[in-house]
Structure 1
């Protein structure tokens, strides 16, 4: 089964939602393809925001406002996974896991990033592959009086602590020396023990060596990796820069590069991508 639209938007996070709203404002029809049950992406897990316009200070508050705007824009929404994207001189075809195809005059790809797991980090050796919950999904209500083992010192660590300034929790944070520049925000917080290590061994019981580090709960906070789909041009790190893609394929949000991964820049890039498609169709 094939359906057609002006603009196929792959990813329903901040960038994809902004693209749909901008598309509607210039008269383009759009279809958002998002595998998760609700739009908003990373916004739902950001406990505190201090770098976005509009007066919203938590991710869920901003997500609610974004979804209201998306509802007014009235794009088609398809909850499904995408397996590949193919572009020709005249259109773009997006194939879903079910085999269904959605075609558009242009496509915006805003699939974002996903948390890196321990077995994918070069400085961590795990006895078996493991999947840990990212720190951004941690439930602060269950942390009182606990010690948590947090693998990596990525910036969600600072966000978690800012959002819970009085939370009684101890965080053991082994991290590679190369990530020390990320720790300035949390270095003076007495709840945090920063542990620079060149290498870390994690066994099946989630005990980390050196130091016999153990927590009541263990989380990954190593960083993120791009979620690209087949048919895109990507760099050595897996990101998909705007340059080099087919003219009918526009990249938005965190998938562009590891720099500038912020809500405000993601939303701006989604709107800009929609405008690029609009003006390309008028030339």
Structure 2
């Protein structure tokens, strides 16, 4: 087994904070890696206007993303495959094989899957009824001019609401946040903000109103109904896992619990669970995943 040839020591799928941290940690212990990312490195970080829980003094996602991308592109032991996506992942007793959209197959002793999550839409939420084909912008993408002096209906209580409020501390806006019971633990950080009105619901029905405004009928947990109108509607209903096809074990929500995977498949970052979707936890889990592969590989070589 020690003499078997691979394309690299470690394949990393996903170029967000977890995948980049994995590649950097792998290089620090002398492991070669191939990182596959369909977009640019840390693409989602560039869309986060304000940070308050990341070490290093970074106040925006753009600054942090630029720093990570610069460091990783200068990492000699990491080969970047940007603009490529994985079509298949296979794991067996001796190696993993990753197939990319060009048809090329790459092999390594271990793979780290850090593809993260993508945004949900109204059609994905059973507690929302909305017109067919309706698309709404995530709240964290709203600009100051979109919010100034307006009342915004926010569907869902996911944490990017806090990001929006921190990015626009002086914006004169009102957020009507309607959220299901499953989001109750997420709204604590915004509960005391005077710009926010929190409305727990069982179900909402969204419909266009006059002009660009929207109206919603909310049904609360006691089946009481309430009609509301807002200047615009935005999403904050969370994300869905974006795992590649192949040998990954998924839970009922599509996440990939690390302890349920093949021994040669290591999961890092937001793909692990909906509970730990933070930049700092992604960075830490990516680094830990690389060390896991490093020590496991050393044990295999010793046995070989």
Aligned residue pairs total 280
Cα distance in structure 2, aligned partners of 1:98 and 1:130: 34
1:239-278 aligned at under 5 Å gives the runs 239-278=255-294
How many angstroms does 1:129 deviate by? Answer: 4.3
Name the CA distance, whole Å, in 2 between partners of 1:71 and 1:104: 21
Distance between the aligned counterparts of 1:57 and 1:124, measured in 2?
34
Residues in 2 aligned to 1:168 and 1:8: alpha-carbon distance in whole angstroms: 47
Q: Specify the alignment match of 1:59 in structure 2.
A: 61
Which secondary structure state, in structure 2, belongs to the residue aligned with residue 48 of structure 1?
A: coil
- Structure 1 residues 203 and 102 mapped into 2: Cα distance closer, same or farther (>3 Å)? farther
- Residue 6 (structure 1) aligned with residue 22 (structure 2): no
Task: Look up the SS of the partner of 1:188 in the other structure.
Answer: coil
Query: Contact between 1:150 and 1:219, CA under 8 Å: does it hold in 2?
Result: yes
1:234 counterpart = 2:236: no
Cα shift at 1:10: 0.6
Shift of 1:269: 0.8
Give yes or no for contact 1:134–1:220 (8 Å, CA) kept in 2: yes
Give TM-score scaled by structure 2 length: 0.84
Indicate if the aligned counterparts of 1:43 and 1:62 stay in contact, CA closer than 8 A. yes
CA distance in 1, matches of 2:106, 2:207: 45
Give the secondary-structure state (helix, strand or coil) at the position aligned to 1:162.
helix
Matched, 1:126 2:142: no
Is the Cα–Cα contact under 8 Å of residues 21 and 70 in structure 1 kept in the other structure?
A: yes
Q: CA RMSD in A?
A: 2.1
Q: When the two structures are superposed, what TM-score results if normalisation uses the length of structure 1?
A: 0.90
In structure 1, distance between residues paired with 2:98 and 2:140: 30
**Counterpart of 2:3?**
none
Distance 1:72 1:198 in 2: 50
Structure 1 unaligned spans of 5+:
none
Larger radius of gyration: 2
1:235-276 alpha-carbon deviations (Å, 9 max, x no partner): 122111111212211100011112222111111111111111
SS in 1 for 2:189: coil
Matched with 1:26 is 29
What CA distance in whole angstroms lies between the structure 1 residues aligned with 2:229 and 2:115? 34
Which residue number in structure 2 is paired with residue 39 of structure 1? Answer: 41
The aligned runs of 1:10-159 (5 Å cut-off) are: 10-36=13-39, 38-74=40-76, 75-78=78-81, 79-159=83-163
- Counterpart of 1:184 in structure 2 is 188
State the shift of 1:43 in Å. Answer: 2.1
Moved more, 12-21 or 149-158: 149-158
Contact 1:149–1:216 (CA under 8 A) maintained in structure 2:
yes
Cα offset for 1:114?
A: 1.5
Task: Find the aligned partners of 2:154 and 2:170 in 1 and give their Cα distance.
Answer: 19
Tell me by how many angstroms 1:86 deviates: 0.6
User: How far did residue 170 of structure 1 move?
Assistant: 2.2
